[in-house]
Amino acid sequence: MEWKPTKESYQTYHTQIVNWFTERIACGDFPIGMKCPSQRALAVQFDVNRSTINTAMEELKANGLLETAVGSGTFIAQNPWPYLLSQPKWQQQINASIHKPNIETIQLINDYEQRQDMIRLGTGELALELLPTQALENSLKNITLSPQAIGYSEPQGNQELRENLCIHLKKRGIETTADNILIISGALQAFQLTAVGLLEPGSFVFQQKASYLNSIHPFQSAGMHLYGVDNPSNLHDTLAKLKRNRHGLFYAIPTLENPTGRIWTEKEKRDVYDICSKLSIPILEDDVYGELLFDEAKSRPIKTLDQTGQVLYVGSVSKTISPGLRIGWIVGPKTVIRRLADIKMQTDYGSSAISQAILTHWLTTGLYEKSLVTLRQQLKIRADFLEQLLVKYFHHIATWTSPKGGFYIWLKFSEPVITKALFTTMLEQKIIIHPGYVYQPNDFHHLRLSYAYATFEQMEIGIQKLASMLTI
């Protein structure tokens, strides 16, 4: 406890001490029931005289934060929050919903990714140097705002933006109208809105076995169960087994799947669409990587097959411009879009009008398309570089598919070497990897590598280090 009250503060010594204690208790540093040091000890420690400590202690008692047990000293009492925090509904659901080792690894990843000195080999974000920061800043000078635009938003989001998205979405083969679009604060919000707005607790969310959803928890937190499907084309047999639990939805990333980077075949898309239509299972199609195909022609969304509003299509600019804009969209039947819009209005009253104005500007001026072209080129160069490293270090012990776009290579080792132990050892070497078991329970063969985040030098160091760790 190196803290001391200071003369610099506008507060008296004893108030500083009261606040410091209060904070330690509120943030759990001093657990309920902990015995306090003696007033003499504290006086020495804080370098104040005992009367100050005494005043502070009396105030803390008066505030109900300390209590004295006769003869045995002073202890940390209840504070108003524990009974609330002792029922962490949300957290419990998350914990209950996935394997402990998983969540521990994910938490370690999240914690260590906050540190500047780590090499991040698996991070699903654009490197800072890939963000169009300057272009974005410059574009702000050309944004015009209307009072209507900066007032309370229309439930489905800015009309002009939605109309321009209709034009933009044609590039992905999607024909829709502004009324079928809901602007959301990033793709993640689509999960939350769908979970509370369309699904009941207990319903199933079907997905590929190795899936991004296993590493985040919007559906589990709302009480849904994830169900991994080996192969979308086998969906029918799988669902036959679950007849009574068929309610739910199929979550798919058919273009540049996360973590596998895979692109579904046209047959797989058609099969999933047909089977889901037959069984009345809506499809939630996540296309956030779709615009990052190195060859754009290569894969069209399932949504392009959709005649009956079977598919809710989700896109976002978080992977293409910047996550900081917090803008994404859902395309679906009006009746569903209106319901999700209602819920969004009850959750956050719509997305930032400024962010919406910026995206409208980027779409209408061609800035968006222009920056996409550059980004794809840069990602391709990074992908080639990473692949060269894989050839050099892993050709004999691992296999992979050359990336067709997006951020990831799903590296498969011939032996189950990607263990929790390896993850930890790498962490000690200041290298963060994303093990397969984070996306698929008990998968110790795979590794999600991202060429979007680390620098070339970091990729080289990281891959080299990884190779030296593996004794296959």
Q: Which is nearer to a copy of itself, 20 or 444 (CB)?
A: 20
Q: Which of 323, 364, 420, 467 binds a copy of itself (CB under 8 A)?
A: 323
Q: Which of residues 79-118 bind a copy of itself (CB under 8 A)?
A: 79-81, 83-85, 87-91
At 199, give phi and psi (nearest 5°). Answer: -115, 155
The distance in angstroms from the start CA to the end CA of the chain is 47
Q: How far is the CB of 200 from a copy of itself (least distance, A)?
A: 6
Q: Which residues contact 94 (CB under 8 A, 6 or more apart)?
A: 103, 217, 220, 221
Distance between CA atoms of residues 315 and 321, nearest Å: 12
Q: Which residues contact 413 (CB under 8 A, 6 or more apart)?
A: 394, 397, 398, 445, 446, 447, 470, 472
Q: Does 50 bind a copy of itself (CB under 8 A)?
A: no
Q: Which is nearer to a copy of itself, 52 or 322 (CB)?
A: 322
Distance between CA atoms of residues 165 and 183, nearest Å: 10
Distance between CA atoms of residues 350 and 189, nearest Å: 11
At 19, give phi and psi (nearest 5°). Answer: -65, -40
> Tokens 């989001």 — which residue?
157
Q: Which is nearer to a copy of itself, 189 or 207 (CB)?
A: 189
Q: Does 188 bind a copy of itself (CB under 8 A)?
A: yes
Of 407, 414, 422, 424, nearest in space to 466 by CA: 422
Distance between CA atoms of residues 165 and 162, nearest Å: 5
Retrieve residue 29's tokens: 């540093």
Q: Which is nearer to a copy of itself, 19 or 55 (CB)?
A: 19
Binding residues for a copy of itself, rule CB under 8 A, total 93
Query: What residues pair up with 328 in beta bridges, in sequence order?
Result: 184, 316
Q: Which of 6, 72, 335, 471 binds a copy of itself (CB under 8 A)?
A: 335
Q: Which is nearer to a copy of itself, 359 or 459 (CB)?
A: 359
Q: Does 23 bind a copy of itself (CB under 8 A)?
A: yes
Q: How far is the CB of 437 from a copy of itself (least distance, A)?
A: 21
Q: Does 32 bind a copy of itself (CB under 8 A)?
A: no
Q: Which is nearer to a copy of itself, 164 or 318 (CB)?
A: 318
Distance between CA atoms of residues 320 and 314, nearest Å: 14
Q: Rounded to 10 degrees, what is the CA torsion of 449, 451, 456, 457?
A: -30
Q: How far is the CB of 388 from a copy of itself (least distance, A)?
A: 26
Beta strands in 161-287 (DSSP E): 181-184, 204-208, 225-229, 248-252, 283-286
Q: Which is nearer to a copy of itself, 238 or 347 (CB)?
A: 347
Q: Which is nearer to a copy of itself, 307 or 471 (CB)?
A: 307
Q: Does 466 bind a copy of itself (CB under 8 A)?
A: no
Q: How far is the CB of 263 from a copy of itself (least distance, A)?
A: 25
Q: How far is the CB of 32 from a copy of itself (least distance, A)?
A: 12
Q: Which is nearer to a copy of itself, 10 or 70 (CB)?
A: 10
Q: Does 152 bind a copy of itself (CB under 8 A)?
A: yes
Q: Which of residues 223-262 bind a copy of itself (CB under 8 A)?
A: 247
The DSSP code for 214 is G
Q: Which of 166, 224, 272, 336 binds a copy of itself (CB under 8 A)?
A: 336
Q: How far is the CB of 53 from a copy of itself (least distance, A)?
A: 17
Query: What residues pair up with 208 in beta bridges, in sequence order?
Result: 229
Phi-psi region of 415 (alpha: psi -120 to 50; beta: other; left: phi over 0): beta
Q: Does 185 bind a copy of itself (CB under 8 A)?
A: yes
Q: How far is the CB of 401 from a copy of itself (least distance, A)?
A: 27
Q: Which of residues 272-301 bind a copy of itself (CB under 8 A)?
A: 276-278, 280-282
Q: Which of 64, 73, 173, 416 binds a copy of itself (CB under 8 A)?
A: 64
Q: Which is nearer to a copy of itself, 344 or 376 (CB)?
A: 344
Q: Does 66 bind a copy of itself (CB under 8 A)?
A: no
Q: Which of 20, 43, 59, 425 binds a copy of itself (CB under 8 A)?
A: 59
- The radius of gyration computed from the CA coordinates of the chain, to the nearest angstrom, equals 27
Q: Which of 148, 374, 377, 442 binds a copy of itself (CB under 8 A)?
A: 148
Q: Does 192 bind a copy of itself (CB under 8 A)?
A: yes
Angle, helices 456-469 vs 420-428, to 10°: value is 130
Q: Which of residues 340-399 bind a copy of itself (CB under 8 A)?
A: 342-343, 346-355, 358
Distance between CA atoms of residues 285 and 252, nearest Å: 5
Q: How far is the CB of 81 from a copy of itself (least distance, A)?
A: 6
Q: Which is nearer to a copy of itself, 153 or 440 (CB)?
A: 153
Q: Which of 120, 168, 217, 269 binds a copy of itself (CB under 8 A)?
A: 217
Q: Are strands 283-286 and 248-252 parallel, antiparallel or unpaired?
A: parallel
Retrieve residue 373's tokens: 């072209």
Distance between CA atoms of residues 178 and 430, nearest Å: 47
> Are the C-beta atoms of residues 375 and 362 closer than 8 Å to each other?
no
